Structure 1
């Protein structure tokens, strides 16, 4: 790139001798600077799209630790668990009684009303390298018939990796609920699941894997092309035969005894490679959010699902008939425009996912469909 810029400057330098005014010289210098900037832009854009190896792989043995616990969400606005089977007893009532007993408070079960309390299941996934005192996000889900967890607070809940094992962490804090899309009778907001971004605290160190001379990098999404690019990048930075591809999901890294293993692995994981472009469409099954990577288009197809009929392609020039629930679009239209048209007629989130899955089955969409 520097050679190209120098060559351009050498070609334009004689032109400066023919200009006598400062304005003309400044104009030529501006043209030269703009040309050099245009030459540098593709390289910069390409570098920005590269992905580090640490984001594509995980070390062998570094399996995340999954934690679970049973707790209570308190402070609800009359939206908690109701009585089960018409009785005042139940797991939620018994849990409240057990908590009150810890504070030397005895309350009869028939005097407790649980409309502001809900029994919840607390789950989390933490890195095996997290030390005691580290914080992590927890997910909270209602186990009973509570209508909403909005505005509630999770009471301190022990978290275990094994139901018969000792508590490894605890969780508590104010619960956050995603607003999702607009709340309508077609797309009600889901309020029986919440999260606490930093609600979990690790209370004991976890067993951590060691860095050996021979370490495997496991691809989070196995792909032979990606594995080859990772090995090539490692060999270019650390020397030939440092990395070898074992299969689509594994790259073996062999480090010499003369190097410090943590430093070398940190350097390897910071290397960047060009990502493998994969056409994907991700659909949120709760609020109907559609995320499409790249400029993907939809071919001709007709899908009739429930009260919605989506017709793509084969449109007559004078076809202006407006049929309720009918969406008519030209062939070769972008995925984003199809999603916008479905949202415009208030298509439920579950039906949007089903329609795109049907388009994939008939070949109108070649991208992978992921519904979450």
Structure 2
């Protein structure tokens, strides 16, 4: 039988499979700590200094409005004035406020045009307040934009590479306000599993209690393990998390088969099993070809040129596999060997796996992307 490496070399698509023994993972890589999360920020601002690639103010009146407001705040009276600069653009500024961020710390921000600006390359973001979901200002952004693309326009053609209407400002915002969160006063703390599983949650509970030598953790459900901070007998919740986050736990994984129909990729987990089943597969190809004929009258004779449609259509029944038996697989290597024995391309293998799953012989979660 062909092994999986031979299939990777000879198939047009990709049939990917791996079998690795589960290894212990740090708890910090398996869970999220309750309350320890980032907060999204957003602001509306103005980019100036563009080389004629800004918003057309006739199509983006909000750009003229914010420009007027900024100039008036700076003491410039533009009431009733008609100005049409081409070097400004209205943008939305977004950032993520990390947990435990302190006032004065820098933040990376992303700037995206919302008008008809062609490029933000070389522009400078004017001081923009960033608000959270509660409406309060938590940071202020300003700086030179690093655009993510380039564009060039000539008299008869233009070329665009990447996305020049979006860019970033590394460390472009400064935190002005901290998120109120009394982490040090917490008496209990929950660990939320990124992939809920009763077995994994039980192992996390057992590992933590074994490390402390007493009942510090208790499993509440498949996705939650609760810590008793007082029972840990440590100085603060931060000391408790610092101790448990590096404890090693062997996670339990579900049996999964993931397929990508666009690329023909198939990925199988180590716990995939298959029952004994018989498979038959064949292909039908429909081919249609247009070959119109032109009927033209003789020179100087009355008549019209007529196009006569002609279509050739045929169905080709390509030879496939006959009724083939796939033996029961008790390990991933046996499952792979049994499927590879069918000798079909990866895209056909996806259809076969769907049918095997529908028949109840594939004992795994089947995910199609």
Fold shared per TM-score above 0.5: yes
Structure 1 position 69, deviation (Å): 1.1
Structure-1 residue corresponding to 2:163 = 190
SS in 1 for 2:102: coil
SS in 2 for 1:168: strand
- Structure 1 pair 264/174, CA: closer, same or farther in 2 (3 Å)? same
- What is the distance in 1 between the residues matched to 2:208 and 2:183? 20
Matched, 1:331 2:345: yes
Alignment match of 1:173 (pick from 139, 143, 146): 143
Q: How does 1:40-59 map to 2 (within 5 A)?
A: 50-59=24-33
- What is the distance in 2 between the residues matched to 1:64 and 1:230? 24
- Structure 1 pair 315/196, CA: closer, same or farther in 2 (3 Å)? farther
Q: Which has the higher contact order (CA 8 A, sep 6+)?
A: 2
Structure 1 position 224, deviation (Å): 3.1
CA RMSD between the two structures: 4.6
Matched, 1:246 2:220: yes
More strand per residue = 2
- What is the distance in 2 between the residues matched to 1:119 and 1:139? 13
TM-score between both structures, scaled by the size of structure 1: 0.57
- What is the distance in 1 between the residues matched to 2:99 and 2:146? 26
Structure 1 position 116, deviation (Å): 1.9
- What is the distance in 2 between the residues matched to 1:139 and 1:295? 37
Contact 1:244 1:251 in 2 (8 A): yes
- What is the distance in 2 between the residues matched to 1:112 and 1:290? 56
Structure-1 residue corresponding to 2:324 = none
- Structure 1 pair 171/252, CA: closer, same or farther in 2 (3 Å)? same
Gaps of 5+ in 2: 1-19, 151-157, 271-280, 286-317, 321-342, 358-363
Indicate the structure (1 or 2) with the bigger Cα radius of gyration: 2
Structure-2 residue corresponding to 1:209 = 182
SS in 1 for 2:66: helix
Structure 1 position 203, deviation (Å): 0.8
- Structure 1 pair 134/275, CA: closer, same or farther in 2 (3 Å)? farther
Alignment match of 1:268 (pick from 228, 231, 244): 244
- What is the distance in 2 between the residues matched to 1:290 and 1:77? 45
- Structure 1 pair 367/52, CA: closer, same or farther in 2 (3 Å)? farther
Structure 1 position 249, deviation (Å): 1.8
- Structure 1 pair 189/62, CA: closer, same or farther in 2 (3 Å)? same
- What is the distance in 1 between the residues matched to 2:181 and 2:228? 20
Alignment match of 1:129 (pick from 85, 94, 100): 100
Structure-2 residue corresponding to 1:94 = 65
Structure 1 position 360, deviation (Å): 10
Alignment match of 1:143 (pick from 114, 129, 137): 114
Structure-1 residue corresponding to 2:39 = 65
Structure 1 position 275, deviation (Å): 5.0
TM-score between both structures, scaled by the size of structure 2: 0.57
Q: How does 1:73-112 map to 2 (within 5 A)?
A: 73-85=47-59, 90-107=61-78, 111-112=82-83
Structure 1 position 79, deviation (Å): 2.3
Structure 1 position 257, deviation (Å): 6.1
Structure 1 position 98, deviation (Å): 1.6
- Structure 1 pair 77/221, CA: closer, same or farther in 2 (3 Å)? farther
More helix per residue = 1
Q: How many residues align?
A: 268
Structure 1 position 169, deviation (Å): 0.9
Structure-1 residue corresponding to 2:233 = 258
- What is the distance in 1 between the residues matched to 2:170 and 2:113? 17
Structure 1 position 101, deviation (Å): 2.2
Contact 1:57 1:217 in 2 (8 A): yes
- What is the distance in 1 between the residues matched to 2:162 and 2:53? 15
Q: Deviations over 1:93-135 (max 9, x none)?
A: 1211221223323346654334322111112221341111122
